[in-house]
Amino acid sequence: MHPHLFPVSLLLFMFLVAAIPRVVVSEDDDRFVRCGTEYECGNMKIGYPFWGGDRPDYCGHPGFELECDGEAPEFTMEGASYRVLDINDSTNTVTVARADVWDSNCPDSYVNTTLNTSLFSYVSTTSYSELTLYYQCVYLASIPNQFNCSNSSIICYFTIQDLSLGDVSLWSCDVNVKIPIFESAANAIVSGGGTVDGLREAVKEGFGLFWNANNNLCKECVESGGHCGYNDSSQFVCYCRDGPSSASTCLNPATSSPEKISHGICGDNTRD
């Protein structure tokens, strides 16, 4: 080999290597990573706006904390607990049932179903009937749809709004609890003769709710590659690979530089 060729070749190789653009790969933001983890309970995996367990509070909306009873996730709203039966992220809807009457018609306390209307609304008010459970009643011979609670000889009754199951006057019972059920389930109770088994089936079918948790902002965040959440000031946040975004989306990969491309996840980095 000619004695001058090797140094020239080496210098040319070093020049070409130096001319190649270097891509800086940084570690993903911890909040981005953690908010990409779903809440797991039973056979369900749940994301934003819900949080709980190993899924931090900043990965969801403050009003959507979940607890797992081993079989299904539950959340509390206005003094009552609700069992999550199904979630549809594409329509922002959740099917729930009252947890306190899931295993028994006799709850420990008497609480009506009341929605936090800033977070939830009924999917369709025309598809529901109102089931009323009456407790601590006097005997009403004309009403067959009755049940007893354990540890008590006091008679209880149930009726359905606008459907004929007998007339229980409020003067006949000390307390009542109102629970929405699907209209189809209410019709099944009536057609079945108002049995306790029909009551149990209707309660376990639950009812549908639409949630409102900055749904449009979260959609924009997810479409940009982010995860949704909230911050300490209860403000919506889009978590991106390089940290929270001040906008509802992460940096558009199509217009970003090759050295720093962001992808996001929706969240809330503020809290009440």
Give the three-class secondary structure for 27. coil
Whole-angstrom CA distances from 123 to 126, 181, 207, 223 are 9, 12, 9, 25
Whole-model pTM: value is: 0.78
CB 244 within 8 A of CB 262: no
Residues 6+ apart with CB under 8 A from 55: 34, 35, 37, 38, 39
Confidence category of residue 159, pLDDT binned at 50, 70, 90: confident
Which has the higher per-residue pLDDT, 174 or 37?
Answer: 37
Q: What is the pLDDT of residues 239-271, one digit of tens each?
A: 999 999 978 899 754 333 333 333 445 555 544
- Looking at residue 258, its pLDDT comes to 34
Q: What is the pLDDT of residues 163-186, one digit of tens each?
A: 555 555 555 788 889 999 999 999
Closest CA to 262 of 249, 251, 248: 251
Chain mean pLDDT for the chain: 81
- State the amino acid at position 269 in one-letter form: N
- Which string of DSSP letters, residue by residue, matches 75-135? EEETTEEEEEEEEETTTTEEEEEEGGGSS-S--SS-------TTTEEES-GGGEEEEEEEE
